[in-house]
A and B are shown apart, each in its own frame.
Chain A
Amino acid sequence: MDFQLGPDIAAFREEVRAFIAEVVTPELREKILRSGTSFDWDVHRQMAERGWLRDDWPAEHGGAGRSPFRVLALQEELELAGGPTFGIFYARALANCIRGAGSPAQKADLIPKLLGGKIILCLGYSEPSCGSDVAAARTRAVREGDAWVINGQKMWTTMAEHASHVFLLTRTNTEVAKHRGLTMFVVPIDTPGIEIHEVKTLGGERTNITYYSDVRVPDSARVGEVDGGWSVMINALRDERPGGGRGHSDRMLLNAVRALAEREGGRIDDPGSLEKLGRIAVQNEVARLIGYSAVARFAQQRHDGVTGPMFKLFSSENMLRNSGVLLDLLGPEALLHDGSEVCEGAGAIEEAWRHSHVGTIYAGSSEVQRDIIAQRGLDLPRSR
């Protein structure tokens, strides 16, 4: 038993830090804050060209079968630096979806482009009337000869403004149980009939609502079986690397300590403040260990489907609570934010606090995570 990530990951981290020092400039930080999307094509392509998006993938997809902790380290370092983090997730998660259920033609076309940083895909799961209950999707796909005609709306299609395709969950059968009548498509985003409307959020991120009006796609755009969309989605979620690291929570703590120490002459001595900082440091360490253990189990192909949800639940709830605690510690100055300036020190806490409200909602709300932990981890009866 050991808890070390080892010299290879340490060396890789150094490489990533050098890269970040070069590319994550104040101008890029400002662009990320202004656009509301933690993504930059130039940085994304450079990471892909270095093989960083796929080096834990098998060789048949251009990977090198390396440790999944490499991409975790990359994500952590980007988070710590406030660099662009969305691209890694969207490229890898969607490539994974295609790998799991795509046709040979889809795999050959989309996976190399996704992992090579040429294109990005977005997710069309949630709808105005369903989020956590994603199997209740109403967006209709109706077969017409060799084509499908799609009508409906999708919420939270983040990254749609950069994406080449949307990975779209549709209803193809209304006569069966809700999760048995779903079909997945990968739809070019420039198909006539698709409209993207910006949605602004409390956290400053840009997301979208996307509208689909008589969108016509060939049957070759279908991913998996007709009415088999639920298993496509579940398998993609299951195979996606669970867990995570320490980046966001430690960045927030570090920024708060910078601001407090500066105010108090270089060193924080107030025991009341120190106690709170100590609690947060401990919680960050615990979150990191739960996240790492989920990845370690995944790397050993012993993915239990419980530790990942534990990390999601624990880390997002911590961010929400601790960003508030840190704002309180910092006092009135922490209220100030300047949209045109890079938010460092106190300003970053205010940003983190606004953002943290969505962490406990997206990618499965805390309630959904607790259901999973209770049923799969503790073997408690199904509850609603």
Chain B
Amino acid sequence: MNLDPTPLQQELVEAVTRLLQAECDTARVRAAEASGFDSRLWQSLVELGIPAMGLAEDHGGIGAGLLELALVAECHGRFLAPVPLVETIVGYRALERSDSGPATDLLRRLIEAAAPMAIALDRVNDEGERLAAAGAATTTMICMEEGQLVVYEHAAPGIKLPNLGAMPLAYRSPRDAVRRVVIAEGAEAKSTHETLLHEWEALTAASLAGLGKAGLDLGINYAKQRQAFGQPIGAFQAVAHRLADAATQIEGACLIGRAAAAAARDEPDRFPVLASMALAWCADAAQQATADSLHVHGGYGFALEYDIQLYVRRAKAWPLILGEPTQRYVAIASTIAAQPDRLQQWISN
């Protein structure tokens, strides 16, 4: 067990951090709230090779594993980057994994156009439209449909629906798509889609760990400066202990986010459950830590002018895209804790 990033991992994190420091301060985050998508930032990330880095070299990537991608996702969360990086990374990888002719052609076109990818959720409205994560940032959407894994291409990005997390959420109708590409069918479609969802969980978890840490740091720094009753408020145990609990939960979030991503390579059997566990924990921890951080800010934390509200809203919103937390916990337990022998096996590994 070695928790240190390799020199290459360290370089990657530093490069992405430098880019985001330069191009994603909270003024930029606020400016992108209306559209949910900062296309200039996206272009910069594309120039650095980030969205495609999880692909093989043949497809314009560097063959980065999920762990490296998780480290990048932590940076994404830390800076609240208004780009659908996680959706695109896992969408590209699903196309690459299916390896069919149409999927490979499509992937080439998307990489050439530096196009983000949207992921359609199960939610369908009365018009038969599907809610799509990142649907307002791109013309391309991947989804499962009657046993097939398909990609719909539209003439233009969808229209952003105002939402808690200022995400580029949009309803997209299969009917007005200009093209429908079947990526995979049958068992292959199912397994490719499941992997896509678990990679999405793992990377969103890492992103939330980064978000939670950054949001908590705002509160810790504030507690060192703000005075009340003649001393910094961080010198009150009632404040310090709340922050210590949150820091502990965030430490756990960083660890389980990375552990889940590492499992994709090292423990493929455990990866799906660990990915769900990581998202479940990172969502809870990021929500608690950012809410605690807001609380420590006192009334100012409630003012839109202060940045903590940006973190609080996203900590709640980002994970909800991937489904209801209660059902996630039920699914985790159904897999490993509904029967003693399954749990015994989980523990023994």
Q: Given A267-B339, A275-B326, does the pair A1, B2 have CB atoms closer than 8 Å?
A: yes
Which of A275, A289, A297 has the most chain B CB atoms inside 10 A of its CB? A289
Q: Out of A1, A292, A384, name the residue touching B4 (CB < 8 Å).
A: A1
Binary per-residue interface labels of chain A (303-327) against chain B in the complex, 1 for a CB within 8 Å, 0 otherwise: 0000100100110000000000000
Contact of A310 with B237 in the complex, beta carbons under 8 Å: no
A281 to B337 alpha-carbon distance, docked (Å)? 8
Q: Given A69-B1, A246-B347, A374-B241, does the pair A1, B6 have CB atoms closer than 8 Å?
A: yes
Contact of B67 with A1 in the complex, beta carbons under 8 Å: yes
Contact of A370 with B332 in the complex, beta carbons under 8 Å: no
Which of B220, B240, B339 has the most chain A CB atoms inside 10 A of its CB? B240
Q: Which chain A positions have C-beta within 8 A of B236?
A: 383
B252 within 8 A of A: yes
Which residues in window 214-270 of A have CB below 8 A to B?
246, 250, 253-254, 257-258, 261, 266-269
Q: Which chain B positions have C-beta within 8 A of A145?
A: none
Contact of B340 with A254 in the complex, beta carbons under 8 Å: yes
Contact of A373 with B340 in the complex, beta carbons under 8 Å: no
Contact of A286 with B338 in the complex, beta carbons under 8 Å: no
Q: Given A290-B252, A378-B243, A381-B231, does the pair A80, B347 have CB atoms closer than 8 Å?
A: yes
Contact of A296 with B329 in the complex, beta carbons under 8 Å: no
Q: Which chain A positions have C-beta within 8 A of B330?
A: 271, 274-275, 278
Q: Given A261-B339, A281-B336, does the pair A314, B235 have CB atoms closer than 8 Å?
A: no
Q: Which chain B positions have C-beta within 8 A of A296?
A: 1-3
Which of A268, A313, A369, A383 has the most chain B CB atoms inside 10 A of its CB? A383
A380 within 8 A of B: yes
Q: Which chain B positions have C-beta within 8 A of A274?
A: 329-330, 333-334, 337-338
A278 to B232 alpha-carbon distance, docked (Å)? 40
Q: Out of A273, A283, A314, A384, name the residue touching B237 (CB < 8 Å).
A: A384
A296 to B61 alpha-carbon distance, docked (Å)? 32
A285 to B4 alpha-carbon distance, docked (Å)? 20
A269 to B67 alpha-carbon distance, docked (Å)? 34
Q: Which chain A positions have C-beta within 8 A of B245?
A: 313, 370
Q: Which of A2-10, A100-108, A126-134, A185-193 contacts B (4 or more CB under 8 A)?
A: A2-10
A283 to B288 alpha-carbon distance, docked (Å)? 15
Q: Out of B240, B274, B326, name the residue touching A380 (CB < 8 Å).
A: B240
Q: Out of A254, A269, A381, name the residue touching B232 (CB < 8 Å).
A: A381
Closest to A375 in B: B240
B198 within 8 A of A: no
Closest to B253 in A: A286
Binary per-residue interface labels of chain A (110-149) against chain B in the complex, 1 for a CB within 8 Å, 0 otherwise: 0000000000000000000000000000000000000000
Which residues in window 343-384 of A have CB below 8 A to B?
367, 369-371, 373-375, 377-384
Contact of B248 with A257 in the complex, beta carbons under 8 Å: no
Contact of B248 with A261 in the complex, beta carbons under 8 Å: no
B9 within 8 A of A: yes
Q: Which chain B positions have C-beta within 8 A of A373?
A: 244, 247-248
Q: Out of A258, A292, A380, name the residue touching B224 (CB < 8 Å).
A: A380
B259 within 8 A of A: yes
A293 within 8 A of B: yes
Which residues in window 242-283 of B have CB below 8 A to A?
243-245, 247-249, 251-253, 255-256, 258-259, 262-263, 266-267, 274, 277, 280-281
Interface of A is mostly: helix
A277 within 8 A of B: yes
A292 to B2 alpha-carbon distance, docked (Å)? 10
Query: How near does chain A come to B145, taking the closest CB pair, in angstroms?
Result: 27
Contact of A3 with B1 in the complex, beta carbons under 8 Å: yes
Q: Given A3-B266, A250-B347, A384-B237, does the pair A269, B6 have CB atoms closer than 8 Å?
A: no
Q: Which chain A positions have C-beta within 8 A of B344?
A: 254
Q: Which chain B positions have C-beta within 8 A of A6?
A: 1
Contact of A374 with B339 in the complex, beta carbons under 8 Å: no
Which of B248, B255, B331 has the most chain A CB atoms inside 10 A of its CB? B248
7 new A-B contacts, CB < 8 A, other than A2-B2, A250-B347, A281-B277, are A1-B6, A4-B266, A261-B339, A282-B329, A285-B277, A293-B3, A383-B237
Q: What are 22 A-B pairs with beta-carbon distances under 8 A?
A: A1-B67, A1-B258, A2-B1, A268-B338, A269-B338, A273-B333, A278-B331, A278-B333, A282-B281, A286-B253, A286-B255, A287-B252, A290-B248, A300-B4, A310-B248, A313-B245, A373-B244, A373-B247, A380-B223, A381-B224, A381-B232, A382-B235
Seen from chain B, the residues whose Cβ lies within 8 Å of a Cβ on chain A are 1-6, 9, 67, 220, 223-224, 231-232, 234-237, 240-241, 243-245, 247-249, 251-253, 255-256, 258-259, 262-263, 266-267, 274, 277, 280-281, 326, 328-334, 336-340, 343-344, 346-347
Seen from chain A, the residues whose Cβ lies within 8 Å of a Cβ on chain B are 1-6, 69, 80, 246, 250, 253-254, 257-258, 261, 266-269, 271, 273-279, 281-283, 285-287, 289-290, 292-293, 295-297, 300, 307, 310, 313-314, 367, 369-371, 373-375, 377-384
